[in-house]
Amino acid sequence: MPKSSIYQQPLYCLPGLGTDHRIFEQLLPLLPFEDVRFLDYKEEYCRPGKGCDDYLAHLLPELQSELKAGEQPNFMGLSLGGLLATRLQHHFPDSQLILVSTIKTNEEAPFIFSLGKILPLYWLVPAIFSWEMVPRISYWAGVISDKDGYELYKKMLRTWTPKMLRWARDAAVHWSNSAPVGQVLHIHGKKDHVFPAKKAQADCWVDQATHYMIVSHAEEVAQHIKAHFG
């Protein structure tokens, strides 16, 4: 498949924890994709205690049913969506992944993932707490660096139910992927504190960018994608 053909094939976008398709609004107009589809999270597929593969087992039939003969799906995954995309690629090994602010193998996983498997203290924090405190903490810590981004994140997070948040926290911690099975373009921010840059093995880096760079540094992310795919 020629690199440029990714623009003519369906691109499925998977958002991160607490976000939805709106997180891609700054980036996608800068790119020449002709057929963009979104895989927002569905509460009925989010079963607390079950992981990413269980979620995909419910999602896959729906995805496969909408693909037309000859269509090759490709995926763009952000944060938690990137974790799902790495597992989704096992079902579509010819697909190409664009990973933004995420990781692709266990070697890149932060220490908190290992700790969470042994001592899941996050279960002590009520999921509903995330609605109010996560946006504030993200803003104070510089993960979200502007007021508009902060307001957008609050709106998106409100679409997540406590059940979905509980599932997502557990699914992220217990995610596992030993190696990509297909082609991957991994773009990462040098100031990402969720998936620390010192462990990430990215193909492209964005200076001064945090975990929220798909909004704050959309132009730089787009430049890397266009440079890679032509």
Q: What is the DSSP string of 28-63?
A: GGGS--S-EEE----GGG--TT--HHHHHHHHHHHH
In the prediction, which pLDDT does 9 show?
95
For residues 16 and 81, the answer to whether their CB atoms sit within 8 Å is yes
Centre a 10 Å sphere on the Cβ of residue 137 and count the other Cβ atoms it contains.
12
What is the mean pLDDT of each successive set of 10 residues along the chain, which is 230 residues long? 74 94 96 97 94 97 92 96 98 97 94 53 50 52 62 85 88 92 97 91 95 93 96
Considering the entire predicted model, what is its pTM?
A: 0.88
CB distance 100 to 77 below 8 Å: yes
**Cα–Cα distance for residue pair 152/149, rounded to 1 Å:** 5
Return the pLDDT at 1: 42
Nearest residue to 97 (alpha-carbon basis) of 107, 109, 85: 85
Please report the pLDDT score of residue 194 as a whole number.
87
- Give the model's pLDDT for residue 5: 82
What CA–CA distance (Å, rounded) separates 156 from 162? 14
Q: How far apart are CA 14 and CA 18, in angstroms?
A: 12
pLDDT of 132: 56
DSSP-based three-state secondary structure for 215: helix
